[in-house]
């Protein structure tokens, strides 16, 4: 399979501040890669370099075999981009916004209504965008990024601060796009979203990738698996017991739990991506 995205030592600095520091990674065609990191980690700056909006200070980005700086327009014709801040024409309807984009991209046989159905905006297509809520605007932004049937889709924090229905709609569209064969580059600081959607996740912190693997492998490598049991004490109160799996003493501990305790509930636990992020970087995803 061809590499859809190659980031080769990508670096960017705002004056003295190095926002992205010699970042290397590759994304295969049809893959969903998420950049997971707290505010200010360098996610948006990376997306801007990948999509030709910022020129790297060092290194380069190659999309579908084309150098982004040298062939910006050809690259941009093949990609869809959705940023956090809505930049829609508020006075125009949703359909007009989409049709305008289709015209700019020279897309023939464009069906705005069908695209609006996909993002759950059917019935609202003729309404002016200024009447939309934040979630509806974001769904329209996602729709707009799909107008040119992009081979690579860049979504910068697409569900940030949205209601659950809008978030779920957007996640479903992302999965459908992968089904269609598109490559997806997603940034988020939502570990559940990264876990659910991504084939691989890159942890980004202070402009550097500190880990990159499948969610499963990250959990295997850095996480600890455990079972948690609620046991009833003699006075009737419940106590929580945790047994770490993958220890030499695990089998004995489990046997002891069942022979010597009155087990009320039991469930297995695995590390979350946030647990692992904290373990690697010493800080959480919230800020
Ligand atoms: P967020 O989730 O807040 O969007 P992020 O991971 O996308 O965070 P970036 O927006 O890429 O992070 O920012 C990386 C660093 O660069 C931060 O320290 C930020 O303050 C700084 N930065 C971003 N844009 C500018 C700018 N235009 N001028 C100066 N510094 C900037």
Q: Residue 92, Cα to own-chain centre: how many angstroms?
A: 29
Residue 4: CB partners within 8 Å, gap ≥ 6?
A: 27, 28, 29, 30, 31, 63, 64, 151, 152, 183
CB 45 near ligand 1, within 6 Å: yes
pLDDT band at 220 (very low <50, low <70, confident <90, very high): confident
- Residue 287: predicted pLDDT: 58
The residue to mutate among 40, 41, 84, having the most atoms of ligand 1 within 8 angstroms of its beta carbon, is 40
Q: Provide the β-strand partners of residue 93.
A: 128
* Dist. CA 92–CA 126, nearest whole Å: 9
pLDDT at 31 over 90: yes
Strand ranges (E), the chain: 3-14, 17-28, 32-36, 58-63, 66-67, 79-82, 152-156, 183-188, 200-205, 208-213, 226-232, 238-244, 262-269
CA of 44 to the centre of ligand 1 (A): 7
Phi, psi of 25 (to 5 degrees): -165, 165
Give pLDDT tens digits for 121-167: 999 999 999 999 999 999 999 999 999 999 999 999 999 989 999 99
CB of 165 within 6 A of ligand 1: the answer is no
Q: Is 258 in the pocket of ligand 1 (CB under 6 A)?
A: no
User: How far is the C-alpha of 241 from the C-alpha of 225, rounded, in Å?
Assistant: 14
Cβ of 188 less than 6 Å from ligand 1: no
Tell how far the Cα of 40 is from the centroid of ligand 1, in angstroms: 5
pLDDT at 1: 58
Cα(59) to centroid(ligand 1), Å: 19
Both tokens of 63, joined, read: 């999309």
Each residue of 34-57: pLDDT tens digit? 999 998 999 999 999 999 999 999
Q: From ligand 1's centre to the CA of 246, what distance in Å?
A: 40
Question: 61 vs 269, which has greater pLDDT?
Answer: 61
Ligand 1 pocket mutation, candidates 37, 38, 42, criterion most atoms within 8 A of CB: 42
């Amino acid at each position: 399979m061809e590499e859809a995205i190659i980031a080769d030592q990508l670096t960017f600095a705002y004056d003295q501040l190095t926002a992205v520091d010699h970042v290397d990674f590759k994304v295969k065609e049809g893959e969903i890669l998420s950049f997971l990191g707290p505010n200010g980690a360098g996610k948006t700056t990376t997306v801007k370099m990948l999509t030709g909006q910022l020129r790297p200070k060092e290194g380069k980005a190659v999309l579908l075999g084309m150098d982004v700086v040298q062939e910006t327009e050809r690259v941009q014709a093949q990609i869809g981009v959705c940023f956090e801040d809505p930049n829609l024409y508020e006075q125009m309807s949703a359909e007009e916004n989409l049709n305008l984009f289709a015209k700019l991209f020279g897309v023939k046989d464009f069906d705005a209504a069908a695209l609006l159905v996909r993002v759950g905006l059917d019935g609202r297509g003729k309404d002016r965008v200024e009447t939309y809520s934040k979630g509806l605007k974001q769904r329209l932004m996602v729709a707009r990024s799909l107008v040119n049937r992009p081979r690579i889709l860049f979504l910068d924090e697409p569900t940030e601060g949205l209601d659950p229905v809008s978030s779920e709609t957007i996640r479903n569209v992302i999965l459908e796009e992968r089904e269609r064969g598109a490559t997806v580059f997603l940034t988020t600081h939502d570990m559940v979203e990264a876990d659910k959607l991504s084939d691989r996740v890159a942890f980004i912190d202070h402009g550097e990738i500190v880990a990159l693997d499948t969610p499963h492998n990250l959990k295997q490598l850095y996480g600890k698996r455990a079972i948690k049991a609620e046991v009833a004490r003699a006075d009737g109160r419940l106590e929580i017991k945790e047994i770490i799996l993958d220890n030499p003493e695990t089998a004995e501990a489990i046997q002891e739990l069942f022979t010597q305790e009155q087990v009320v509930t039991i469930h297995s636990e695995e590390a979350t991506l946030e647990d692992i992020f904290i373990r690697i970087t010493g800080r959480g995803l919230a800020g």
